[in-house]
């Protein structure tokens, strides 16, 4: 009643599909974290160049440079992972293996 069914193609596709293991997922999480950190670093460099606070109206005191650096760092960490550079880098590195 039933004819013989050739499952060889289905098995070859099943062998080609890689099921992610817990180690792969952990590596992906670590890689995403690092690409987000790189994007934050990149954004901080852009902010450092673009947000030069050279206002002649107000005098500079000793903490201005430190405060501005900390401000740019906080902004860049908050914006890291949201521009798309991190995702592009993550996809590239993940597929490069």
Q: Please list the pLDDT of the chain residue by residue as tens digits (97 residues).
A: 556 666 566 555 555 556 566 767 788 899 999 999 999 999 999 998 888 766 666 667 778 888 888 889 999 999 988 989 999 999 999 888 6
- Is residue 14 situated within a structural domain? no
Q: Has residue 11 been placed in a domain?
A: no
Distance CA 82, CA 94 (A): 18
Does any domain span residue 77?
A: yes
The pLDDT value given to residue 89 = 92
b/e burial code for range 65-78 (CB count within 10 A of at least 16 → b): eeeeeeebbeebbe
> CA 13 to CA 4: how far, in whole Å?
19
Q: Please indicate, yes or no, if residue 74 is contained in any of the structural domains.
A: yes
Q: Is residue 85 part of a domain?
A: yes
Specify the pLDDT at position 67: 83
Instruction: Provide the pLDDT for residue 97.
Output: 64
For position 6, what pLDDT does the model report? 62
What total of structural domains would you count in the chain?
Answer: 1
Q: What pTM was computed for the model?
A: 0.68
Give the domain extent around 37: 21-96
């Amino acid at each position: 009643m039933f004819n013989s069914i050739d499952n060889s193609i289905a098995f070859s596709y099943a062998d080609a599909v890689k099921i992610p293991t817990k180690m792969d997922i952990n590596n992906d999480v670590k890689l995403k974290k690092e690409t987000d950190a790189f994007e934050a670093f990149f954004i901080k460099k852009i902010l450092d160049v673009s947000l030069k606070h050279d206002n002649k109206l107000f005098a500079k005191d000793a903490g201005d440079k430190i405060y501005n650096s900390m401000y740019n760092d906080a902004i860049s960490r908050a914006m890291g992972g949201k521009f798309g550079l991190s995702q592009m880098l993550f996809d590239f590195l993940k597929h490069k293996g």
